[in-house]
């Protein structure tokens, strides 16, 4: 069984003491494909090192995370463009809008999001969207960019059934992680109404650990808890869901 974690920050400082062990733990469970989102330029070197250490399993994205869109965002976007010109990446991400931490940067977040969508189109890459308390704003930008070259993943999807269908209408898969196991996560109440062809699995490690690890550091091995929950909700075998969601990830990332 091959399981794909489409969103995991394995270069995070949270793993500095035991990174290799935690990756090996995931590999032992069949989690053998790790897609790594960018945050900002300060993490580029550690991402490249991670790929060097696990070349058969690690696939890098490039982008500027919305919570890191600050006064110097244009400089950061130049770094993104420079890196895209240097080597292969598998997505532009994670990008989007986050209004949980700072609403004052909304306008520059929108500019950075739009610019990076256009970069994705230029390089024929998927986008990986970070959306926190910003569905309306995200949809507004996507509506303006909607065409056949727009596709990707709505990372850590936490919206309603209606928002799920709207996200899918923009050629987005839904990234489903630990939230589906939460008692108050809500997406468990309707996710089985979404065809599995629209779903990919993720952890967002070290964040959003699934039950029974909620509140602790998340890791890619815990994706099996997400898989087990979806198996229950869809009444399909874990192996079948792993196969479908891995194929979906191949369709998106082209690897």
Domain with 176 in it: 3-253
Q: What is the 3-state secondary structure (H, E, C) of 143-209?
A: HHHCCCCCCEEECCCCCCHHHHHHHHHCCEEEEECHHHHCCCCCHHHCHHHCCHHHEEECCCCCCCC
- Mean of the pLDDT values across residues 53-74? 98
pLDDT at 199 (0 to 100): 98
pLDDT, average across residues 217-232: 98
Q: What is the pLDDT of residues 8-34, one digit of tens each?
A: 999 999 999 999 999 999 999 999 999
* CB of 237 closer than 8 Å to CB of 42: no
Angstrom distance (rounded) from CA 111 to CA 137: 12
Q: What's the rounded Cα separation, in Å, for the pair 133 and 97? A: 8
| Number of domains within the chain | 1
Q: What is the CATH number of the domain that holds 123?
A: 3.20.20.140
pLDDT number for residue 176:
98
pLDDT for 188-215, tens place per residue?
999 999 999 999 999 999 999 999 999 9
Instruction: Tell me the Cα Rg of the chain.
Output: 17
Q: What is the pLDDT of residue 234?
A: 98
**What per-residue confidence (pLDDT) applies to 167?**
98
pTM for this predicted structure: 0.97
Mean pLDDT, range 71-97, rounded to an integer: 98
- If you ran DSSP here, which 8-state letter would residue 254 be given? -
């Amino acid at each position: 069984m091959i399981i794909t974690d489409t969103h995991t920050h394995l270069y995070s400082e949270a793993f500095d003491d035991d990174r290799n062990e935690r990756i090996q733990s995931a590999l032992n469970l069949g989690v053998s494909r790790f897609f790594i989102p960018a945050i900002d330029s300060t993490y580029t070197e550690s991402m490249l090192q991670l790929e060097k250490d696990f070349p058969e399993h690690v696939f890098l994205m490039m982008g500027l995370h919305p919570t890191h869109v600050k006064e110097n965002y244009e400089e950061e976007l130049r770094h993104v463009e420079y890196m895209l010109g240097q080597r292969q990446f598998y997505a532009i991400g994670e990008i989007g809008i986050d209004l949980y931490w700072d609403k004052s940067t909304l306008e520059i977040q929108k500019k950075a999001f739009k610019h990076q969508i256009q970069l994705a189109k230029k390089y024929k890459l998927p986008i990986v969207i970070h959306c926190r308390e910003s569905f309306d704003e995200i949809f507004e930008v996507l509506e303006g960019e909607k065409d056949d070259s727009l596709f990707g993943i709505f990372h850590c999807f936490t919206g309603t059934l209606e928002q799920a269908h709207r996200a899918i209408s923009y050629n987005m898969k839904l990234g489903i992680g630990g939230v589906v196991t939460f008692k108050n996560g809500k997406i468990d109440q309707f996710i089985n109404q979404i065809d599995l062809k629209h779903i990919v699995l993720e952890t967002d490690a070290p964040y959003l650990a699934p039950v029974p690890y909620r509140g602790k550091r998340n890791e890619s091995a815990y994706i099996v808890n997400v898989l087990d929950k979806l198996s229950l909700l869809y009444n399909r075998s874990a192996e079948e869901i792993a196969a479908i969601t891995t194929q979906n990830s191949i369709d998106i990332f082209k690897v």
